[in-house]
A and B are shown apart, each in its own frame.
Chain A
Amino acid sequence: MMLRKSVTRSFGAAISGLDRSHLTDGVISRSKRMMLDTLGVGLIGTRTNVYHKALRYSQSFASRDQSQVWGSAEKGLPAQYAAFVNGVAVHSMDFDDTWHPATHPSGAILPAVLALAQVLPQQPTGLDLLLAFNVGIEVQGRLLSFSREALNIPQRFHPPTVVGVMGSAAASAKLLGLTPVQCTHALAIAASFAGSPLANAATQTKPLHMGNAAGRGLEAARLAWMGLEGNPDVLDLESGFGVFFTEYNPSEMADVGGFKWALESQNVAVKLFPAHLGMHWVAEATLAAKAELGRGGESDGRLDDIRSVTLRVPPSKYIDCPYPATEHQARHSYQFNACSALLDDRVTVESFGDALRNRPALRELLSKVRVETPEDNHPSFDKMYCDVVIEMHCGKRFVGRCDTFYGHWRRPLSQEDLEGKFRANASTVLSSEGVEGIVDIVRNMEQATDSSMLRLHLQMTTFIPVKGKSGELQHGLHHGADAIKDLMERRVAHKSAGGDHFVFLVHVALSDALTHMRAAQLADGRSGIRSVWVSVQRKKPSQLTLV
């Protein structure tokens, strides 16, 4: 018999009890920044290889209720799979936010919240979304405080698969309006869906972790809503949520009366380039060292004269990768990020592409890198630093150091730079109208009476013109035949509820048999399609331009 109030039940009560009035200005502004960044990172992530595999897989499921896939004007997926693929998109390039203790908090929550919102009978307001989002973030923060082990860069389980799935369940439970008991069971069920080992970091399977956290958390909340039960003390037990930690001290969630958000006292870090957070210290320290080298009168050509590059970083096996063979490994390699920064004076999205990654100059430089792990350099995102020492053949040494990179919670991005990152990311997929619309909508989110506007803008894609039967066609039509069918059936699609934004999808030159066509046939070139143009425009059909 339990005499004390169980931790798990206190969480259920808090998730159910928190309401809009609890959201503070600080929390709202921080969480809006996280949302904007997550959307941008997710949009650019829809262009990755791993995303397309996850999407094709998810398209083998169908549902009466459809939730939207970000950056796509097509019909959607079942809510759970929309949350899954959008979560994969967010983490596909390791470009999403990082919190302390270490996890990527937003990627597990926002895809679940948006996917679920779409299938609710009544559209939540912007403030409802913010509340559910923050409940999901908060639960992750609380759970991470249950173990000192969580303070350090992880070694066993990838945190988003542990706390992220719980956060997604909590956020989904909030949005579904579950009772305290149902919220408790949602967490209990989610605990049975949690936990993926770290070894799959630096592979295509790592982004799946985020997709699964979002999708399975949502599923746990829906199962609880249907009446399915788990262990209502799951957070209290070593054999419950405690299995994911070597030491575990759960504590109750304060009653909603005296509630204080973890996000108020601990902000998140926002990445400037798509790689593991630890790489950001390395890149900045490398640039500092290179600046020293430049000041010493050495020109770029002198890179040939480098004898060695020493990186002093914290010990962490999975981000110490001397010769990365794939983009995923490159995103988890101290050495690669230092060399990229040295060669290009910056690390960007392009740094991880095949062309730059496989440069002989980079390979050559990689062979000169040594990694040292000083005792005072802790594998914790709150304490770590990076020293870079460039030693020349002549014996001269140039040193750079980074204690806090730009984007870290101690040195947050300006609003302008945050929006700049979003614009750069989102514009790879959306029209400028979609991009600016989202910036606006998120900026004023707490005032929005209908959150569906966000969804609408996430559909304002710019398609590239595609012709013939080449791989290009497959790329342009990567979402399969249903898209084409949609284009056929609805020359004008998606009118927003009362807004003045329209999305037009236009096709030309399609053969008659197309409605019965299958994607594979399209790709085979047997469809008789000569070419497809799709354009996105605003307001007046007469202004339509074909790209």
Chain B
Amino acid sequence: MMISKLQKTTRSVYTMRSVHRSATNALPTLVQHAVVERPAPQETVTASFGRFISGLGAEHLTPTVLQRSKRMVLDSLGVGLLGSTTEVFELALEHCQQMYAPDYISSVYGRTGTKLSPTLAAFVNGVAVHSMDFDDTWHPATHPSGAVLPALLAVSDMMPPNRKPSGLDLLLAFNVGIEIQGRLMRFSNGARNIPKRFHPPSVVGTMGSAAACANLLSLDPSQCSHALAIATSLAGAPMANAATQSKPLHIGNASRLGMEAALLASRGLEASPLILDSVTGVAGFNAFYEDYMPLPLNLDKDKGHSFLIEVQDIAFKRFPAHLGMHWVVDAAASVNKLLVGIHSGTVSASQVKEILLRVPRSKYINRPFPECEHQARHSFQFNACSALLDGEVTTQSFTADAIRRPELAALLSRVRVEHPADNPANFDRMYGEVQVTLDGGDVLSGRCDTFYGHWRNPLTNESLRKKFRSNAGAVLPRKQVEDLIEAVEALDDLQDCTPLLLQLQ
């Protein structure tokens, strides 16, 4: 086994580097590079990304960026901890434990004493985060945190005890991973809409994980470019596997494969230096898009960097389903209130003649009769009817018993779906409208333009913590849950991220 060296950026306005030495076996050997980086001979988009990932420092993180990314970290951890109770997570974990010898390096969410090799831990924890489709959503559409955070925590786990990254190092690498995803998604107009071909986390998430790991490992600019190029060869999964157990694998793979790309690049493996640039006749990253216009990402050392997360905040889900469901649920919940008012506390299918949903056209979330939890999480019809019946949608709404309720089936059979021309399949512009015609002919309707949790109407810190307590509390003792909240809150002041790493099981 190899003796390995690892570097990481220190918290300093100067790009001072410190060298980590580790006795673990999974680390790459890195060549220490000079403080002043030579610019690439030719200005390409790919090279500019490499320099950006390598060059970004903690001093670039603004208070807003810190605050928003800490909220994302907390939510991603909670969602992942709850996800560690799911069947698909169990399958992924069993797979790793059966295929590989025990490797006690990186922690598995919510499983005391269970550790795996870093890439496998990144994989299963990524699966956990997306297992219930409960993780954050950005605009243009992707789930940014699930691909990045598990990889970073797994890498941190493999660093030697006295050389753990600081909380700020973690936040920096995390933001690099998020920023790269945002930049890449702006290369295509098609990426602005709800996807049809490739599942975005499998495309940009893999790249984000590679960028984040490359930053945490202090790879040089050229290695960072190669990490992105290698990651491109590991990216991309089709949308058709949405609403199946394979969708959570997409995030697990993004996390794991991005980390693999960074580790391979750190060994000196090379790939196309033009991967992000548009070259006719030889597809690079543009293979995943129908339109593509890449732009360089330049880091001005004096001016600082304007992060996309500052101008475009994230959406946090309140219940575990596709983001589009949140509009119809809020609209249906308001109808439920009216119904409850009329019928003194109960809602029954027999009162209802027809339910009309006005939602965007998107095939994979239009499912009249979902047969399993994964399909239910991707069904306008199911979520609207659940909210009509119960006044809300929660984690419990997706249990097998809840899905099979006769009352719900009766309501589902009365649903009609319309796609108005002014309701585009776009998380920034879509709305949800629910119109219920009662037996007597009365019509009740509700509309939601911006649900609570959307970036235009963000969850309060209190609501976010409530969600976290409920999620993390499903697998961790109360004290640990509170310690985690505190660790994330104070993350930028943490000299050593160990307290965070220790609380995840």
Contact = CB atoms under 8 A, between A and B. Distances in A.
A201 B234 CA distance: 14
Interface residues of A, number: 69
A203 B120 CA distance: 27
Contacts of B238: 191-192, 234, 237, 239-244
Contact of A204 (B236, B271, B288): B271
Interface stretch (A224-232, A287-295, A381-389, A492-500): A224-232
A481 interface: yes
Given A226-B91, A520-B3, 19 more contacts: A57-B264, A60-B2, A78-B99, A156-B287, A157-B287, A188-B241, A191-B237, A192-B237, A197-B275, A199-B272, A199-B275, A200-B272, A205-B230, A222-B99, A223-B249, A228-B88, A231-B246, A240-B238, A241-B238
B101 to A, nearest CB: 4
A191 B117 contact: no
Interface in A199-255: 199-205, 208-209, 212, 219, 222-223, 226-231, 233-234, 237-244
Contact of B197 (A59, A200, A208, A243): A243
Contact of B246 (A161, A189, A197, A205): A189
A431 interface: no
A205 B269 contact: yes
A465 to B, nearest CB: 24
A161 B234 CA distance: 9
A518 B119 CA distance: 22
A60 B197 CA distance: 34
A14 interface: no
Given A199-B272, A230-B244, A243-B239, A60 B117 contact: yes
A196 B267 CA distance: 21
A197 B25 CA distance: 31
A62 interface: yes
Contacts of A532: none
A156 B243 CA distance: 27
Given A63-B101, A203-B270, A226-B91, A155 B279 contact: no
B30 to A, nearest CB: 13
B281 A155 contact: yes
Contacts of B445: none
A317 B279 CA distance: 9
B390 interface: no
23 contacts: A53-B264, A60-B25, A78-B100, A155-B281, A155-B282, A192-B246, A194-B236, A196-B236, A199-B285, A201-B282, A203-B272, A205-B233, A208-B269, A228-B249, A230-B241, A230-B246, A231-B241, A238-B196, A240-B241, A242-B238, A243-B239, A317-B282, A519-B1
A194 B236 CA distance: 7
Given A57-B264, A203-B270, A226-B91, A521 B246 contact: no
Given A78-B100, A316-B281, A318-B282, A209 B233 contact: yes
Given A157-B283, A226-B91, A239-B364, A191 B240 contact: yes
A199 B282 contact: yes
A208 B269 CA distance: 10
B91 A200 contact: no
Contacts, number: 212
Contact of B3 (A50, A226, A240, A521): A521
B120 to A, nearest CB: 8
Given A192-B246, A197-B287, A226-B94, A204 B232 contact: no
A378 B345 CA distance: 72
A196 B281 contact: no
A132 interface: no
A61 B363 contact: no
Interface of A: 50, 53-54, 56-57, 59-65, 78-80, 155-157, 161, 188-189, 191-205, 208-209, 212, 219, 222-223, 226-231, 233-234, 237-244, 315-318, 480-482, 518-521
A223 B93 CA distance: 11
Interface string B192-203: 000011100010
B286 to A, nearest CB: 8
B121 to A, nearest CB: 12
B229 interface: yes
B6 interface: no
A62 B105 CA distance: 13
A197 B264 contact: no
Instruction: List the 3 shortest-distance A-B pairs measured between CB atoms, nearest first.
Output: A240-B240, A317-B281, A199-B284
A56 B29 CA distance: 11
B10 interface: no
A193 B237 contact: yes
A200 B264 contact: no
Contacts of B239: 239-240, 243
B245 interface: yes
Given A64-B101, A226-B94, A205 B241 contact: no
Contacts of B280: 317
